[in-house]
């Protein structure tokens, strides 16, 4: 006898639920039978609420009422016996059980009509099932509280007005946590400034075509200037601004860390913007996205992957130069700031090997923690912006998964972050065509409207986003009103300003350069050739293993999850802290500092190439590899020649350019080493610059910096510039 499908709708009446059930035949052939009379059901509220099957959020439930011949004894027998396998529902009934918000009462109806009340407590969910992520929320809240309190306590001492002359660096192991916290705060502040500068500068160079060449040329010059060349002007200027105060040295350290981080991130983001696929640009034009919307929906996601990977290597570069930044000499003055860099420098000078090992262990622990808490989640999150199909689930992060499953984080994201971000991204600013009708002969009319709307009565009704939108619109209108008059001579004005600045700097530096003898100029030339040879050797040796290793890591998420922390640790360890061990090893081999300087240059250059190749390999669409696996019958060499090398070529050029700049900067710490109270040096431009900075010979320091900058600029102009153009035109996805 066929069962009939009915819909039971419960209505509250006093302390009972009254249900009215109307049914239709479960089979279309039974439609000829007369419909049964309406059935009314009375279910106690206490029974429903006392059972584990009461759906609190569902007002409608579907059930199959048994045929009229099925008795209560039959129901008891069915409950005690082994339940038979449930057959697949008919196709016409599939819609009744497909939705998650539908409560199926069929299997639980016998428990509601049984004489003996069921054991409700045995069927209730456990607290762990009700709150599976409560522990995650507690951990997240405690981590936020600990982070904020640690930043407050560290920053209070970091930017104090205490004189720097009273600072004494000790190699006591009990001070390592405090030193580590202060170095970490400097790194975080410098990275924040580097990120903002990279986004703004690269976007300006990308959007303003006439200024792109000038801006990139300026970056090439700044990148080629060694770190020690910034020291005299930056440190002495800030000390004069904050005399005998620690805050001046702290700002100088942050600025020097900025110079070791920003250029790599900037060039990577700029190259990613230049290589956005043309079809995506056409789609943005078709939908008439404004510059604001296009940046947040197309341009920033397109550069997210390269920006994250180069952020990893930029922070690693900051750790690499940490010793030179926190501990240095200018003339007869010794500057040291409390931190891991100065701790390792003092330990290396005194040959305190236990302190060196302890400092390196702390550095490695911080790097591993940062990788686990920050870089892995960011890499897993940024992988969704890669071109082509979705990435594999192997590229995931435990921390990111915890945050995504946390009810606290999801609630904050849904109620606060998501609405604010939606409004922020979709801000609409008036275009020049829309602004033009509202302008008059006396200037923009929107400013007066903004001033009128900014009265005390109306400001309270505007939130921060609306006020920002109004201000930005007023500024845009002002710029549009004068743009026509500036557009004709603005490029010429910028070029003339740059030449005037360069000429003024040359005129001010002329007395220092005139004091250099011809013999010193000859020494500069030979030193530059020696350092250039070491840079080429370090770059060639780096390319031999970083390109295949980077492709293997980038195309295998499981391998990337295992190898990335190891690579980041190796890239972040300050190489100068390893020099005591390297010198002992090289002394046995007989290579000396000439071989050691090349090895140290490799430690400062190969990571730029490796991380950029990893980002390039991940950016190749997976569909291209699928097509290659179908049509390529010639083996791996053809795949490398036709797919892999063209795909990673733009990223490889960016990595090589930054690696060359890093090699020139690494020469100042690899060719001149302070060890056990003495100085070890080899013939080279980096050694000459380091010695000039240590002895206070600012004329020789300036001349060495100019020679190094000219070499880098000539290389970029005649080698890397054409390769950049080739990557943009021929090897663009």
Q: How confident is the model at residue 592 (pLDDT cuts 50, 70, 90)?
A: low
Please indicate, yes or no, if residue 244 is contained in any of the structural domains: yes
pLDDT tens per residue across span 36-70: 444 444 344 444 444 444 444 443 343 344 444 44
Q: How confident is the model at residue 196 (pLDDT cuts 50, 70, 90)?
A: very high
Residue 650 reports pLDDT greater than 50: yes
Model pLDDT, residue 69 = 41
Model pLDDT, residue 320 = 73
Please indicate, yes or no, if residue 68 is contained in any of the structural domains: yes
The one-character DSSP state at 166 is G
Model pLDDT, residue 192 = 92
Which range has the worst mean pLDDT, 500-514, 679-693, 694-708? 500-514
Question: 32-46, 110-124, 421-435, 679-693 — which one is most confidently predicted on average?
Answer: 679-693
Interatomic CA distance for residues 726 and 21, integer angstroms: 74
Q: What is the DSSP string of 175-218?
A: GHHHHHHHHHHHHHHHHHHHHHHHHHHHHHHHH-HHHHHHHHHH
Which range has the worst mean pLDDT, 76-80, 282-286, 659-663? 76-80
Q: Which of 124, 149, 183 is the last residue of a domain?
A: 124
Q: Which of 124, 142, 167 is the last residue of a domain?
A: 124
Which range has the worst mean pLDDT, 48-57, 167-176, 484-493, 583-592? 48-57
Model pLDDT, residue 485 = 52
Give the domain range for residue 79. Answer: 4-124
Show the tokens assigned to 460: 């309270």
Show the tokens assigned to 314: 């930029």
Same domain assignment for residues 65 and 173: no
Q: How confident is the model at residue 713 (pLDDT cuts 50, 70, 90)?
A: confident
Q: How confident is the model at residue 634 (pLDDT cuts 50, 70, 90)?
A: confident
Same domain assignment for residues 218 and 353: yes
Q: Which helix (H) or strand (E) holds 251?
A: helix 246-274
Instruction: With CA atoms as reference, report the closest residue to 191 among 247, 241, 264, 242.
Output: 264
pTM of the model: 0.64
Please indicate, yes or no, if residue 505 is contained in any of the structural domains: no
pLDDT above 90 covers what percent of the chain?
Answer: 3
**Which three-class secondary structure string do you get for 12-77?**
EECCEEEEEEEEEECCHHHHHCCCCCCEEEEEEHHHHHHCCCCCCCCCEEEEEECCCCCCHHHHHH
Same domain assignment for residues 235 and 363: yes
pLDDT tens per residue across span 399-445: 888 888 878 888 888 888 888 888 887 776 655 555 555 444 444 44
Same domain assignment for residues 188 and 119: no
Which range has the worst mean pLDDT, 77-81, 198-202, 466-470, 519-523? 77-81
Please indicate, yes or no, if residue 130 is contained in any of the structural domains: no
Please indicate, yes or no, if residue 483 is contained in any of the structural domains: no
Instruction: With CA atoms as reference, report the closest residue to 560 among 571, 551, 572, 573.
Output: 551
Same domain assignment for residues 35 and 183: no
Please indicate, yes or no, if residue 710 is contained in any of the structural domains: yes
Higher pLDDT, 3 or 164: 164
For all residues of the chain together, what is the average pLDDT? Answer: 71
Same domain assignment for residues 114 and 8: yes
* Mean pLDDT of the 600-623 span: 84
Q: Are 622 and 389 in contact (CB under 8 A)?
A: yes
Interatomic CA distance for residues 479 and 457, integer angstroms: 29
**Longest Cα separation, the chain:** 117
Which range has the worst mean pLDDT, 100-104, 504-508, 531-535? 100-104
Interatomic CA distance for residues 91 and 95, integer angstroms: 8
Structural domains counted in the chain: 2
């Amino acid at each position: 006898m066929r069962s009939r499908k009915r819909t039971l709708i419960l209505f509250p009446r006093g302390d009972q639920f009254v249900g009215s059930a109307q049914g239709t035949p479960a089979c279309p052939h039974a439609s000829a039978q007369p419909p049964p009379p309406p059935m009314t059901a009375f279910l106690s509220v206490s029974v429903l609420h006392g059972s584990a099957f009461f759906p609190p959020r569902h007002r409608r439930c579907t059930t199959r009422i048994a045929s009229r011949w099925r008795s209560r004894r039959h129901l008891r027998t069915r409950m005690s016996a082994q339940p038979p396998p449930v057959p697949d529902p008919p196709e016409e009934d599939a819609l009744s059980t497909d939705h998650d918000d539908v409560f199926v009462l069929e299997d639980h109806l016998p428990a509601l009509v049984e004489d003996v009340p069921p054991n409700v407590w045995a069927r209730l969910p456990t607290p762990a099932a009700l709150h599976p992520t409560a522990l995650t929320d507690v951990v997240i809240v405690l981590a936020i509280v600990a982070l904020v309190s640690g930043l407050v306590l560290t920053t209070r001492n970091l930017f104090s007005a205490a004189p720097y002359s009273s600072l004494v660096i000790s190699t006591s192991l009990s001070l390592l946590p405090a030193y580590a916290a202060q170095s970490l705060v400097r790194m975080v502040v410098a990275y924040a400034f580097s990120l903002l500068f990279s986004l703004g500068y690269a976007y300006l160079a990308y959007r303003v075509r006439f200024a792109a060449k000038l801006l990139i040329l300026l970056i090439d010059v700044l990148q080629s200037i060694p770190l020690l060349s910034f020291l005299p002007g930056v440190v002495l200027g800030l000390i004069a601004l904050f005399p005998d105060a620690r805050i001046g040295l702290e700002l100088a350290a942050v600025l020097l860390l900025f110079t070791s981080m920003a250029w790599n991130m900037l060039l990577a983001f700029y190259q990613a913007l230049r290589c956005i696929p043309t079809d995506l640009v056409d789609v943005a034009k078709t939908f008439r996205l404004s510059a604001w919307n296009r940046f947040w929906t197309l341009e920033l996601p397109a550069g997210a992957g390269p920006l994250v990977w180069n952020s990893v290597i930029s922070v690693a570069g900051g750790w690499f130069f940490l010793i030179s930044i926190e501990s240095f000499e200018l003339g007869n003055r010794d500057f040291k700031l409390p931190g891991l860099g100065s701790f390792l420098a003092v330990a290396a000078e005194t040959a305190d090997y236990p302190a060196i090992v302890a400092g390196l262990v702390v550095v490695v622990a911080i790097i591993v923690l940062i990788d686990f808490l920050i870089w892995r989640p960011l890499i897993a999150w940024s992988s969704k912006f890669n071109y082509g199909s979705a990435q594999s689930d192997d590229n995931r992060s435990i921390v990111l998964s915890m945050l995504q499953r946390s009810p606290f984080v999801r609630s904050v994201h849904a109620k606060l972050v998501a609405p604010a971000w939606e409004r922020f991204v979709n801000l609409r600013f008036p275009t020049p065509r829309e602004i033009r009708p509202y302008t008059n002969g006396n200037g923009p009319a929107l400013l007066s409207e903004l001033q009128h709307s900014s009265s005390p009565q109306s400001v309270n009704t505007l939130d921060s986003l609306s006020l920002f939108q109004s201000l930005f619109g007023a500024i845009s209108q002002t710029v549009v009103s004068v743009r026509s008059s500036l557009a004709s001579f603005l490029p010429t004005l910028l070029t003339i300003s740059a030449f005037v600045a360069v000429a003024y700097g040359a005129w001010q530096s002329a007395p220092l350069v005139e004091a250099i003898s011809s013999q010193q100029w000859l020494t500069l030339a030979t030193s530059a050739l020696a350092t250039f040879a070491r840079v080429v050797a370090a770059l060639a040796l780096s390319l031999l293993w970083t390109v295949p290793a980077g492709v293997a890591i980038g195309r295998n998420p499981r391998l990337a999850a295992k190898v990335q922390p190891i690579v980041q640790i190796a890239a972040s360890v300050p190489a100068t802290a390893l020099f005591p061990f390297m010198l002992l090893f090289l002394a046995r081999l007989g290579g000396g500092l000439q071989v050691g300087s090349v090895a140290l240059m490799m430690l400062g250059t190969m990571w730029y190439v490796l991380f950029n190749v990893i980002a390039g390999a991940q950016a190749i669409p997976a569909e291209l590899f699928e097509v290659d696996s179908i049509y390529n019958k010639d083996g791996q060499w053809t795949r490398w020649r036709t797919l892999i090398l063209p795909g990673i070529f733009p990223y490889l050029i960016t990595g090589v350019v930054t690696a060359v700049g890093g090699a020139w900067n690494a020469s100042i710490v690899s060719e001149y080493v302070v060890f056990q109270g003495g100085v070890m040096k080899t013939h080279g431009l980096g050694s000459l610059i380091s010695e000039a900075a240590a002895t206070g010979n600012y004329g020789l320091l300036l001349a060495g910096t100019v020679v190094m900058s000219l070499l880098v600029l000539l290389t970029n102009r005649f080698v890397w510039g054409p390769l950049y153009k080739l990557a943009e035109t021929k090897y663009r996805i």
